[in-house]
Structure 1
Amino acid sequence: MKGISDTVLIFIGILFISYSLSFQTPPANAADPKKELTVIQQKLSKEEAKVKSAAKKEKSLLSELEEINRTIRTKQSELNSYDKELVETRSRITFLEDEISKLSSEMKKKKGSLKERLRELYKQRLGGDVALILFSSKDYNDLIKRSRYISLVAYHDNRMMNTYSKNIEDYSSKKQRMEALQRAARANKESVRTKMEEMSAEHHKKDKLLASIQSERSAYEKMAEELRGASIRLQDMVTKLEKQEEEASLAGRGFTAMKGRLPWPVSGSVLVPFGKYSDPNFKIPVFKNGIEIEITSDSTINAVHGGKVVFADWFKGYGQLLIVNHEKGYHTLYGNLEEIFHKAGDIINDGTPVGRIRAPGPQQVSTLYFEIRYKGKPVDPAGWLKRKETAKKKEGPPLKK
């Protein structure tokens, strides 16, 4: 999903997890964890009250962005369909033009033959050739033979006339079909132009909305809170999905033994790392539950380990999301997918393709969002994936703990 992969939304995804973590994790040196939890819950209630008050006045920008992205995908699909239909229509027109050309040539030949035959028949009637042929018969049997010959000639002439007449009808019919296809081609071409204009308008609308998000801090924080809610829902969902641990145990066996040796789900540089660092735009501490891997060309995303697919659908804040359940409470999450290759319940093996992300457009960023969770809690993928020689990070430096 290229919309969520844009720079602004990457920052938003990072910000909401920072808030979530700060409200959920008590200090290690807290004397009374229960009392500390009460204080945290009180702070959370105050913050949520502020957000709810603002939410009543503002439309959900996140939902609007996601709706724009859905509209763009729908129109792109319609455009592809119109393009395909236009190509097929032009192919049929070419085929009919070829048939009409052949038919026209054949009709010219038959027309010439028919004219010549009619001229001969006219001469025969004027000269009495037919009667002469019959009356010059030697005997009765010869008369019968000559009569049959004349009948065959007449039959051939009649058949020639019928064939020519049918050719005229076929020519007219195919000509009408070709003209109808040409009208359809013109209509399809106009539909393609209209869809391209609609897509351009949607992209402009999206760019305008993203610009407003960048310029308004309050809108930015509101979207962050919405994504924080998405993270909480995801946390609840992962907890429920752990009940399916037994079904995936066979396929996911050996996951823990692969720590530090898991293959990368896709080749690319890490744009956003796991953990704390400073947001470059607002200079605030943020936290990321997973990593963002840059996609520079059309890429197939592969499972880092076998297991059971427990979720494969759209999830607010994560785009097209696929979750694989491995052994002993471990899950891997693959977000921002443009296509999902599996459904919930599928058993997959190591390296099985699970989805696809296409290359980004000009001045756009596409990324795969990847998480590893243990009993619902995020862990740093860097400790599980094979080490790379270099890793590019565009965000600020990690904060000191």
Structure 2
Amino acid sequence: MFFVVLAFFIPSAYADKAAQTRQKLEQVQQQILATQTQLKKTSSDHQAIEKSLKDTDQAIGQVTKRLRQTEQKLTDIKQRITALEAQQKELEQIKQQQLKMLTGQIKSAYQIGQHDYLKMMLNQNSPAKLERVLTYYQYLNKARIKEVEKLKLTVVALEKNKQVLTEAQLEFAKLLDTQKNKQTELVKLKQAQKQNLAQLANIIKTDQQQLAALKQDESALSQALKALAEAVEALPKQTNFSGLGQVKGRLLWPTKGRVRDYFGKRKSGELRWKGVVINASAGQVVNNIYAGQVIFSDWLNGYGLVLVVEHGDGYMSLYGHNQALLKDVGDTVHAGEPIALVGQSGGQATPNLYFEIRYQGKPLDPTKWCH
């Protein structure tokens, strides 16, 4: 009895722990977002434009995510339609074969009928011959009934298949219409994003203003990552992620593209890059570099739509400037799993991915960790 109770208790306890972890991480995320607003010391015009930029970036993220989901559904439905059409063709062939066989049996019965079934039986002097005639008639009748039943089943299957096929085609058309509307919405949002960037450029004109903004954004990010690290330490451990220490130099890059800005390169003034910037196409998939848990998935000043993964043993990876975030706080992610799409959120003129690896809060050079 003890083992039965334990079997039901373990999944329930694990689910409760996962829910608690997700809730605590979401609370920390909300605190970070609230702190970001307080840390940003800029003019009211600047704040208004950044608020507009944030709203636009997040709207683009949501629309892009829905578009991706719609595309996946469209692919699934296309495959279903292809399979249903093949099944329809196969059932039609079976129906024609069954009709042909039944036609032959009816023809045989008709020809026998012309000889007068009753007269043929009365003319049989031999009991053995009479038995054979009766057996033949019974066999022919049973075979005919069997073929009729088979044909009925085939006709029903054909109708059902046809109905499912029609429903799938209607769903496909509806999704296609939704996709077109979302694409139109995305074009408008990207135009708004472009206008926000132009307005932001008009406000941050001098190098000094740019440096001040970058310093604030970098400071806010460091504080956010510190708060996340402290939160992770306080959380109950669900899965013992091994960290990145054993896979140094063997990690895959999160996306394909040319590295534009390298770790340690001068960013502005005395500021240097704490990660790398990879030029890539908008909408290109961003993959998680190693197993871990999503501990942040939202918008941050200067970095746009950001996703942070905790890999255990003090290691974290950060992915910024995304167009859409495909994972939520608390999600467990595997190596190579799609987690975001490349974009230009956070005030970027061109699409790229900002990528960092940190150990106990200290930034590491990704080129020494990724293959």
Question: TM-score, normalising length from structure 1?
Answer: 0.55
CA RMSD of aligned residues (A): 5.4
2:76 alignment counterpart: 88
Deviation at 1:197, TM superposition (A): 1.3
1:164 alignment counterpart: 151
Matched residue SS, 1:137? coil
The code of the aligned residue for 2:320 comes to: N
Deviation at 1:100, TM superposition (A): 1.9
With 147-156 and 314-323 compared, the bigger mean Cα shift is at 314-323
CA distance, structure 2, for counterparts of residue 385 and residue 115 of structure 1: 75
Query: What does residue range 265-280 of structure 1 map to in structure 2 within 5 Å?
Result: 268-270=259-261, 277=268
Deviation at 1:126, TM superposition (A): 4.2
2:239 alignment counterpart: none
Deviation at 1:226, TM superposition (A): 11
1:288 alignment counterpart: 271
Deviation at 1:367, TM superposition (A): 4.7
The one-character-per-residue Cα deviations of 1:303-346 (angstroms, maximum 9, x if unpaired) are: 9xxxx99964546324426498999xx998846275799989x9
1:153 to 117, 137, 140: 140
Matched residue SS, 1:138? coil
Q: CA 1:161 to 1:232, structure 2 compared with 1: closer, same or farther past 3 Å? A: closer
The one-character-per-residue Cα deviations of 1:211-240 (angstroms, maximum 9, x if unpaired) are: 22223459x979977983883584487389
CA distance, structure 2, for counterparts of residue 100 and residue 197 of structure 1: 36
Query: What does residue range 57-136 of structure 1 map to in structure 2 within 5 Å?
Result: 60-128=48-116, 130-136=117-123
Contact kept? 1:289, 1:371, Cα under 8 Å: no
The one-character-per-residue Cα deviations of 1:250-281 (angstroms, maximum 9, x if unpaired) are: x99x9xxxxxxx9999783437967785xxxx
1:336 alignment counterpart: 320
Q: CA 1:62 to 1:246, structure 2 compared with 1: closer, same or farther past 3 Å? A: closer
CA distance, structure 2, for counterparts of residue 145 and residue 127 of structure 1: 16
Structure 1 position 174 matched with structure 2 position 157: no
CA distance, structure 1, for counterparts of residue 92 and residue 337 of structure 2: 56
The code of the aligned residue for 1:161 comes to: V
Deviation at 1:365, TM superposition (A): 4.4
Question: TM-score, normalising length from structure 2?
Answer: 0.58
Contact kept? 2:64, 2:186, Cα under 8 Å: yes
Contact kept? 1:61, 1:223, Cα under 8 Å: no
Q: CA 1:151 to 1:341, structure 2 compared with 1: closer, same or farther past 3 Å? A: closer
Matched residue SS, 2:93? helix
Q: CA 1:69 to 1:161, structure 2 compared with 1: closer, same or farther past 3 Å? A: same
The code of the aligned residue for 1:78 comes to: R
Matched residue SS, 2:306? strand
The code of the aligned residue for 1:336 comes to: G
Between Structure 1 and Structure 2, how many residues are aligned?
Answer: 300
1:316 alignment counterpart: 300
With 357-366 and 61-70 compared, the bigger mean Cα shift is at 357-366
Query: What does residue range 21-40 of structure 1 map to in structure 2 within 5 Å?
Result: none
CA distance, structure 2, for counterparts of residue 96 and residue 326 of structure 1: 47
Contact kept? 1:340, 1:354, Cα under 8 Å: no
Contact kept? 2:121, 2:133, Cα under 8 Å: yes
Structure 2, unaligned runs of 5 or more: 1-38, 236-241
CA distance, structure 1, for counterparts of residue 101 and residue 336 of structure 2: 67
The code of the aligned residue for 2:190 comes to: H
1:10 alignment counterpart: none
The one-character-per-residue Cα deviations of 1:331-372 (angstroms, maximum 9, x if unpaired) are: 98846275799989x9xxxxx999978666897142526598
User: Identity across aligned pairs (percent)?
Assistant: 12
Contact kept? 1:294, 1:368, Cα under 8 Å: yes
Matched residue SS, 1:320? strand
CA distance, structure 2, for counterparts of residue 172 and residue 310 of structure 1: 47
The code of the aligned residue for 2:189 comes to: E
CA distance, structure 2, for counterparts of residue 367 and residue 153 of structure 1: 75
Structure 1, unaligned runs of 5 or more: 1-19, 21-46, 255-261, 278-285, 347-351, 387-401
Q: CA 1:238 to 1:353, structure 2 compared with 1: closer, same or farther past 3 Å? A: farther
Instruction: Indicate the structure (1 or 2) with the bigger Cα radius of gyration.
Output: 1
The one-character-per-residue Cα deviations of 1:105-158 (angstroms, maximum 9, x if unpaired) are: 232233233334334433433441x11331122344543443232112111111
The code of the aligned residue for 2:76 comes to: E
Structure 1 position 192 matched with structure 2 position 176: no
Contact kept? 2:262, 2:273, Cα under 8 Å: no
Deviation at 1:207, TM superposition (A): 0.9
1:349 alignment counterpart: none
Deviation at 1:165, TM superposition (A): 2.4
Matched residue SS, 1:60? helix
CA distance, structure 2, for counterparts of residue 289 and residue 174 of structure 1: 63
Contact kept? 1:313, 1:320, Cα under 8 Å: yes
1:231 to 214, 219, 228: 219
Contact kept? 1:337, 1:355, Cα under 8 Å: no
